[in-house]
Amino acid sequence: MDIFDLKIIKIYNYFMKKIIIFNLSFIIISYSSLFAQSNGINISHGGGLDSEGCHNDKKNNSYHCHTKNSQKDKLESNNKYVIIESCYDGDTCTTLEGEKIRLACIDTPELRGPKAQPNQAKAARDYLNNLIAGKEVFIKRINRDRYGRTVAEISINGKNIQQTMFKSGYAEIYSKYAYQCPWSR
């Protein structure tokens, strides 16, 4: 064999490895997809899924799931009326059904922790409770946060509660998530 033949063999081996890797990847992806579909999971794109098979899709500004009977499906629809039982602080409330709601696009002082501002936090909580506790509100669900709370905009009689909290000085716009609410951009 001469040097030309050795180069040909080297090139041939290189491409064969690439073909084998491609085929193995294709088989793994196909098998994963078949396994997922046989278990009621439909995967149409990548992204980290939580234990319910759901994830926040920042590109489309939504929270969606890839399983049947997922937590998102159990939440009814994205937009509906609920009754707020009470508000824990100036940006977190609970519905009568027990759903934890994190008000989108705003941030209020913390009640506890290293950055706590208890007086301001209690004032924000009390103001929010006076606005919506025990009342029927319209909720526009956006997604879920890392604590499993529903991130949503809330309004009562057409009045955006987050905007009201901000304009009244009890909340700041949460710039990291302001893209979720057109009014806060």
Q: Which domains does the chain have, with CATH numbers?
A: 3-65 (no CATH), 76-184 (2.40.50.90)
What predicted TM-score, i.e. pTM, was given to this entire model? Answer: 0.60
Specify the pLDDT at position 12.
80
Cβ 161 vs Cβ 104: under 8 Å: no
Specify the pLDDT at position 24.
75
Q: How far is CA 66 from CA 19, 38, 50, 158, in A?
A: 31, 13, 10, 33
3-state SS assignment for residue 147: coil
Specify the pLDDT at position 55.
65
Q: How far apart are CA 23 and CA 19, in angstroms?
A: 6
Specify the pLDDT at position 51.
55
Radius of gyration of the chain from Cα atoms? 25
Specify the pLDDT at position 74.
46
Rounded mean pLDDT for each run of 10 residues along the chain, 185 residues in total = 72 82 75 57 56 63 57 58 95 95 95 92 97 96 93 95 96 92 87
Specify the pLDDT at position 34.
57
Which amino acid would we find at residue 20? I
